[in-house]
Amino acid sequence: MKFAPLVDRIAGGGADTWKVHDKAVAMKAAGRDITFLTIGDPDQAPADLVIEGARASLAAHHKGYAPIGGQPAVRAAIAERIARRSGSPCAPENIAITQGAQAALYCAMQCVAGAGDEVIAQDPVYATYGAVVAASGATMIKVPLRADLGFHPDLAAVAAAVTPRTRAILINSPHNPTGAVFDEAEKRALAELCRRHDLWLISDEVYEDMAFARPHVSVWSLTETTGRAIVVSSLSKSHAIPGFRLGWVAGPPMLVAHVTNLLMCMAFGGPPFIQEAVLPALRRDLPEVAGLREDYRRRGEAMAKLLGQAPGCAVAPPEGGMFLLLDVRPTGLSATAFAEGLLEIQGVAILPCDAFGANVAGRLRISLTLPDAALLDAGRRIVAFAEGLRRRPAA
């Protein structure tokens, strides 16, 4: 039987990213004790008011269909949150609620890019971005985030990548997988580039509450992006509720109307009890979120210090987010070979970054989503594995 061309566009490197993780899952199912540092699934408990909100909504039998673009009160709360944080106006008609930030990005891309278009993104990119852009029919043009710049954007290189086919620039800060937090000047320069060339600026801000090297600056706050900013975000990471699958698109009202039409085809609205559960968390900043951010700052620093003892490896503390990069190229192993050996010998699963882009080939992404003691124990096992590599006879 034949399949649509879409199936080829959404397969590839991004789909291969999880092979080590999948192998670790199979090993655990077979009875092996495995420590997972692969996926950004927060270990902290969500705020009680979010859980109680979901329970109360279900107890009230709020199980019917919600409006396609989201419940009005929730859209209004997201708009108020963006306006409060950015200092720029945002209204409910600027918001569509989606099934997580992943779906938000997919919907936005489908509505602004198509066959023959180009979308500029930074290398490395999160592993799903390639498929999201390709699903629209557009081509992703990667511009390196250079290690010598701390994985911050090379603004001249981004400007040089713009062609008559460019429709959008896609950014992510705090950045996954590098942990870089782009500063306001960098974002203003990218916003001005979009204004000058009449491009969309799409900003994945899912880690906005987890910037600790410098404050997060939303592109929604920049006057240069008026009418062309698209922000996708969620509470998945910051509020430790990734399974709730609640995210949003913020953009011009016409874009939101198009996204809502697409959501009618895809999901026909989201669960009302989930939307009602997060309403209090949208209306005010919770202390649990600040505590979670501090957890990742502390864990990042501690793991960077510990892994600095691993021979043949290099690491730097992240500026934000929940991941840390480990460079294993000096060991002589590829990232995948290192990860597979570590899994077999030490029972620790980490994610090879090769599928994120050529600019992080030979590096591994380590999730900081374990309690401190368990995380540091995994770090010591990584060091032990690296020491074992140094002692082994030359091939």
**CATH number reported for the structural domain that contains residue 132 in this entry:** 3.40.640.10
- Whether residues 235 and 135 fall in one domain: yes
- Whether residues 115 and 236 fall in one domain: yes
Residue 298 one-letter amino acid = R
What residue has token string 């500026």?
319
The answer to whether position 215 is within a domain reads: yes
- Whether residues 177 and 73 fall in one domain: yes
Q: What is the mean pLDDT of the chain?
A: 93
Tokens of 159: 């400007």
The answer to whether position 1 is within a domain reads: no
pLDDT at residue 226 is higher than 90? no
**Percent of the chain residues topping a pLDDT of 70:** 98
- Whether residues 34 and 60 fall in one domain: no
The answer to whether position 66 is within a domain reads: yes
- Whether residues 10 and 153 fall in one domain: no
Decide which of 283, 302, 333 is a domain's last residue.
Answer: 283
pTM of the model: 0.93
The answer to whether position 57 is within a domain reads: yes
What residue has token string 């540091």?
376
- Whether residues 52 and 33 fall in one domain: no
- Whether residues 78 and 127 fall in one domain: yes
Query: Among residues 251, 337, 257, 350, which one has the least CA distance to residue 307?
Result: 350
pLDDT at residue 238 is higher than 50? yes
The answer to whether position 300 is within a domain reads: yes
pLDDT (0 to 100) of residue 32: 95
The string of pLDDT tens digits covering residues 326-371 is: 999 999 999 999 999 999 999 999 999 888 888 888 999 999 999 9
Decide which of 283, 302, 337 is a domain's last residue.
Answer: 283
The residue ranking higher by pLDDT, 26 or 390, is: 26
DSSP string, 60-74: TT--SPPPTT--HHH
Supply the range of the domain harboring residue 253. 48-283
The string of pLDDT tens digits covering residues 70-124 is: 999 999 999 999 999 999 999 999 999 999 999 999 999 999 999 999 999 999 9
The answer to whether position 19 is within a domain reads: yes
> For the residues 366-390, what does the mean pLDDT come to?
95
The answer to whether position 299 is within a domain reads: yes
- Whether residues 243 and 230 fall in one domain: yes
Cβ–Cβ under 8 Å, residues 162 and 197? yes
pLDDT at residue 15 is higher than 90? no
- Whether residues 266 and 381 fall in one domain: no
Tokens of 51: 């859980």
- Whether residues 62 and 152 fall in one domain: yes
The string of pLDDT tens digits covering residues 303-321 is: 999 999 999 999 988 999 9
